[in-house]
Structure formats: structure tokens, C-alpha cells
Amino acid sequence: MSKVVDVRGLSCPQPVILVQNAIDEGQFPIEVWLDSVTSRENVRRMATRSGCSIEITEKDDEFLMVLKK
């Protein structure tokens, strides 16, 4: 079962912190719901540095990012 982290409506650095906490818990895959390009890019950079593979899907004005180890 996937871990879901919904950071829609939050401004940085909150999305990065919440996703980092989920990565540290180690329950993969992690589904991250985002609604801003800035948050998407900040989370993407942090997840890449943490060794995650990333799939990003855009749906309407939102993004679904799936992180895997």
C-alpha cells in the first residue's frame, strides 16, 4: 500500500519537510500530491538527493509524484 502525502495548498518549505519525513519512514512507494510548480521542483530535487526514483504526472493544475527507492 502506498503512503500518501498531500501538500496541496502548502508553501515551501512545508512540502519538502513533509515528504522528507515520509522518505525517512521508509514506506514506499510514496504518492505526493502537489499544486505548485515551485513545490514540485523543490520536492523533486530533495527526493533525487535522497536516492528516490520519481514519476511525475500532471492532472489538471495538480501534480502526482510517485517516489520509489
The total number of structural domains in the chain stands at 1
CB 46 within 8 A of CB 16: yes
Instruction: Residue 48: give its domain's CATH number.
Output: 3.30.110.40
Residue-level pLDDT at 37: 96
Stated length of the chain: 69
Give backbone dihedrals phi and psi of 56, rounded to 5 degrees, phi first: -120, 130
Could you give the CA distance from residue 15 to residue 18 in angstroms, rounded to a whole number? Answer: 5
Report pLDDT digits (tens) over 17-60: 999 999 999 999 999 999 999 999 999 999 999 999 999 999 89
Domain span holding position 10: 3-68
Could you give the CA distance from residue 25 to residue 37 in angstroms, rounded to a whole number? Answer: 25
Closest-CA residue to 30 (of 50, 10, 58): 50
